[in-house]
Amino acid sequence: MSTALLDKIEKTQAQLERQGLLRRRHAISASLPDEPNIELPDQLSFRLKGKHYLNFSSNDYLGLSRSKALIDAMCHASKQYGVGSGSSPLVTGYSQAHLALEQRLCKITGHEAALLFCSGFSANMALMKTLFDSSDTVMADKLMHASVIDGLRDCQVQLKRFLHNDVASAQRIMNKQVPTALITESIFSMDGDIAPLLSLSRLCKQNNVSMIVDDAHGFGVQTPPLVDAKIADIQVVTFGKALGCQGAAILASQQVVDFLVSNAREYIYSTAISPVNACVALAAVDLIDTDLSLVHRLIDNISYFRQQCEHAGIKLSDSSTAIQPLVLGDIDTTLLVADRLKELGLWVGAIRPPTVPKGSARLRMTITAMHTRDDIDRLVDGLSTTLA
């Protein structure tokens, strides 16, 4: 059956494929050992169509997604709460498990209150669309995540975008028109670089401007933390990166959170994140707050990877974080290199527009605390071979 809608879809998909921009899913297979724990190196491998790959594209920076502590927390919580929340938070979906996680997040960041969401994307969308409207002017870093930009466009704010991580650019815009808020990320997801948070915070305080920080890729992997209530008026953290599980939270003043509870449609009309997920996230927060060994191991692995790449003549972007981009520019070249790495059993993300600006297609490699030096050497050898 052919309809106008299906014809439109077919033409669009064909065009994306010609441009090398068509996206597809891959159902991978992975198995846990009988007694899983965070020390096992094989949790970085997976199978796809019978072939084994070493994963260098995961955001599970500390390897907690298969931590025995988190698995135990999930099993215990499911027996106590069941596996779902059953309704929206404002009906009966808000439990003591949710409250405990919110309070713990506030304790370690210094914020007064927190609000849980099922994903970082939904948290950012809710925040933008609820706080702002067409009467507001909002400043945002040029490379802000799509969830923030989409939310700001939906609420029709006057959006001013300052040059990436450029305080002087932000200052120039603010001198012309003081905005309602300034928004940045802590660690940028595609470049792996860190925002000048202290300088931006000072700028905002001098002009009585609220500062919002999307801390998705920074929370839990930096010591000391990049962001807290002293720096950001509002902080968004996600649980699917360093915490190894699922969900997100908006951290802010009690006044802001109360306003969101009453007005954020994504919160009011969505089934709450399950109590089980809240308990797992709480276990992850407790772990990273009391044991820095995984963070230190991650930092060591990042340093080792960059050193080995330098010795091999591989020019990486300037990033000291787990996100290590290798900008190749051309889409076809990027896809070709990624495919050749896959032939070597190395799974690396090939990032293309519109996720990144045109002309900056790249390999996005993520280093984790679970990678061994042998794993990293294998990646560097693979890059040297495929780039030759």
Q: Which residues are catalytic?
A: 59, 145, 185, 189, 214, 217, 241
Spatial CA neighbour of 97 closest among 298, 247, 211, 234: 247
Cα gap 238→229, rounded to integer Å: 16
Q: SS in 3 state form for 50-74?
A: CEEEEECCCCCCCCHHHCHHHHHHH
Burial class (CB in 10 A: 0-12, 13-18, 19+), 359: exposed
Count CA within 13 A, CB hemisphere, residue 219.
Answer: 27
* Secondary structure class of 134 (helix, strand, coil): coil
Sign of CA dihedral 113, 117, 121, 123: negative
Cα gap 201→110, rounded to integer Å: 16
Cα gap 182→141, rounded to integer Å: 8
